Amino acid sequence: MAPAPISVDALTEPQALAELTALADELARHDIAYHQNDDPTISDADYDALKRRNAEIEARFPHLVRENSPSLKVGAARSEKFRAIEHGVPMLSLDNAFSNEDAVEFDARIRRFLRLPPDETVGYTAEPKIDGLSCSIRYEKGELVRAATRGDGRVGEDVTANVRTIGEIPHRLAGEGWPDEIEIRGEIYLGHEEFAALNAAAAEAGQKTYANPRNAAAGSLRQIDPTITAARPLRFFAYAWGYHSQPFAQTQWEALRKLKGWGFRTTPESRRVENAAGLLEAYDEMEKVRPHLGYDIDGVVYKVDRLDWQQRLGFVSRAPRWGVARKFPAQQARTVLEAIDIQVGRTGAITPVARLHPVTVGGVVVVNATLHNADEIARKDIRVGDTVILQRAGDVIPQIVQVVLEERPKDAAPFAFPTHCPCPLHTELVRETTASGAETVVRRCAGEFACPFQKLAHLRHFVSRRAFDIEGLGEKQLTLFAEKGWLNSPADIFRLKARREEILAQDRFGETSVTNLLASIEDRRNIDLDRFIYGLGIRHIGETTSTALSRHFETAERFVETSRLAAGQTAGPMFAELSDLDGLGPTAVSAVLEFARGGPGLLVPPDLSLDSRLKLAIPKLNSKARAALEARFGDWASLEAAARQAAAETPGAAFLEVASVDAVGVVAARMIAEFFGEDHNRALVDDLLGELTVIAAEKPKTDTAVAGKTVVFTGSLERMTRDEAKAQAERLGAKVSGSVSKKTDLVVAGPGAGSKLKEAEKHGVKVLTEDEWLALVGG
Residues that are catalytic:
129
Measured from the CB of residue 148, what is the shortest distance to ligand IVH in angstroms?
13
Measured from the CB of residue 186, what is the shortest distance to ligand IVH in angstroms?
8
Measured from the CB of residue 395, what is the shortest distance to ligand IVH in angstroms?
10
Q: Does 129 bind ligand IVH (CB under 6 A)?
A: yes
Calculate the CA dihedral of residues 68, 74, 80, 83 and round it to 10 degrees. Answer: -150
Pairing of strands 735-737, 84-86: unpaired
Q: Which is nearer to ligand IVH, 56 or 269 (CB)?
A: 269
Measured from the CB of residue 297, what is the shortest distance to ligand IVH in angstroms?
8
Measured between alpha carbons, how far is 180 from 643 in angstroms, rounded to an integer?
60
Q: Which is nearer to ligand IVH, 27 or 130 (CB)?
A: 130
Contact 570, 580 (CB under 8 A): no
Q: Which among 619, 588, 586 has a CA at the least distance from the CA of 602?
A: 619
Q: Does 187 bind ligand IVH (CB under 6 A)?
A: yes
Measured from the CB of residue 240, what is the shortest distance to ligand IVH in angstroms?
5
Q: Which is nearer to ligand IVH, 126 or 224 (CB)?
A: 126
Q: Which is nearer to ligand IVH, 57 or 169 (CB)?
A: 169
Q: Which is nearer to ligand IVH, 320 or 345 (CB)?
A: 320
Element (H, E) at 513: helix 511-523
Q: Which is nearer to ligand IVH, 313 or 560 (CB)?
A: 313
Q: Which is nearer to ligand IVH, 130 or 629 (CB)?
A: 130
- Coil, strand or helix: which one is 348? coil
Measured from the CB of residue 286, what is the shortest distance to ligand IVH in angstroms?
11
User: According to CB under 6 A, which one of 127, 183, 386, 649 is a site residue for ligand IVH?
Assistant: 127
Q: Does 344 bind ligand IVH (CB under 6 A)?
A: no
Site mask for ligand IVH (CB under 6 A), range 67-96, x = bound: -------------------------xxx--
* Segment 11 to 40, residues that bind ligand IVH, using CB under 6 A: none
Measured between alpha carbons, how far is 545 from 645 in angstroms, rounded to an integer?
29
What burial letters (b/e) apply to 704-741, b meaning 16+ CB within 10 Å?
bebeebbbbbbbebeebbebbbbbbbbebbbbbbeebe
Residues whose CB is less than 8 angstroms from the CB of residue 540 and which lie 6 or more positions away in sequence, other chains included: 667, 668, 671
Size of the site for ligand IVH (CB under 6 A): 13
Measured from the CB of residue 319, what is the shortest distance to ligand IVH in angstroms?
7
Q: Does 779 bind ligand IVH (CB under 6 A)?
A: no
Measured from the CB of residue 592, what is the shortest distance to ligand IVH in angstroms?
38
What are the DSSP E strand ranges found in 175-270? 181-189, 235-244
Residue nearest to ligand IVH (CB): 134
User: According to CB under 6 A, which one of 62, 123, 320, 572 is a site residue for ligand IVH?
Assistant: 320
Q: Which is nearer to ligand IVH, 207 or 331 (CB)?
A: 331
Measured from the CB of residue 218, what is the shortest distance to ligand IVH in angstroms?
11
- Could you tell me which stretch among 70-78, 128-136, 365-373, 668-676 binds ligand IVH (CB under 6 A)? 128-136
For 459-464, the CB contacts below 8 A with 24+ separation are 459/487, 459/490, 459/493, 460/346, 461/346, 461/535, 461/537, 462/490, 462/493, 462/535, 462/537, 463/493
Measured between alpha carbons, how far is 574 from 629 in angstroms, rounded to an integer?
13
Q: Which is nearer to ligand IVH, 51 or 306 (CB)?
A: 306
Site mask for ligand IVH (CB under 6 A), range 238-257, x = bound: -xx-----------------
Measured from the CB of residue 696, what is the shortest distance to ligand IVH in angstroms?
30
Contact 243, 146 (CB under 8 A): no
- Could you tell me which stretch among 3-11, 126-134, 216-224, 721-729 binds ligand IVH (CB under 6 A)? 126-134
Measured from the CB of residue 125, what is the shortest distance to ligand IVH in angstroms?
8
- Could you tell me which stretch among 129-137, 339-347, 424-432, 624-632 binds ligand IVH (CB under 6 A)? 129-137
Measured between alpha carbons, how far is 610 from 593 in angstroms, rounded to an integer?
17
Q: How many CB atoms lie within 10 A of CB 200?
A: 11
Measured between alpha carbons, how far is 509 from 219 in angstroms, rounded to an integer?
29
Q: Does 296 bind ligand IVH (CB under 6 A)?
A: no
Q: Which is nearer to ligand IVH, 93 or 402 (CB)?
A: 93
Rg (CA), the chain: 29
User: According to CB under 6 A, which one of 20, 166, 198, 301 is a site residue for ligand IVH?
Assistant: 301
Amino acid at site 779: G
What are the DSSP E strand ranges found in 229-330? 235-244, 271-274, 297-304, 315-316, 319-320, 323-327
Q: Which is nearer to ligand IVH, 320 or 573 (CB)?
A: 320
Measured from the CB of residue 441, what is the shortest distance to ligand IVH in angstroms?
30
Q: How many CB atoms lie within 10 A of CB 575?
A: 26
Q: Which among 66, 157, 7 has a CA at the least distance from the CA of 475?
A: 66
- Coil, strand or helix: which one is 92? coil
Q: Which is nearer to ligand IVH, 321 or 443 (CB)?
A: 321
Burial class (CB in 10 A: 0-12, 13-18, 19+), 592: buried
What number of residues does the chain have?
Answer: 779
User: According to CB under 6 A, which one of 28, 110, 130, 643 is a site residue for ligand IVH?
Assistant: 130
> If you write DSSP's letter for every residue of 584-604 in order, what string do you get?
--HHHHHHHHHHHTT-TT---
For 656-663, the CB contacts below 8 A with 24+ separation are 657/562, 657/566, 658/549, 658/562, 658/563, 658/566, 659/571, 659/579, 660/586, 661/548, 661/549, 661/552, 662/548, 662/552, 663/317, 663/544, 663/545, 663/548
Pairing of strands 526-528, 693-695: parallel
Q: Does 305 bind ligand IVH (CB under 6 A)?
A: no
- Coil, strand or helix: which one is 659? helix
- Contacts with ligand IVH, residue ranges (CB under 6 A): 92-94, 127, 129-130, 134, 187, 239-240, 301, 320, 325
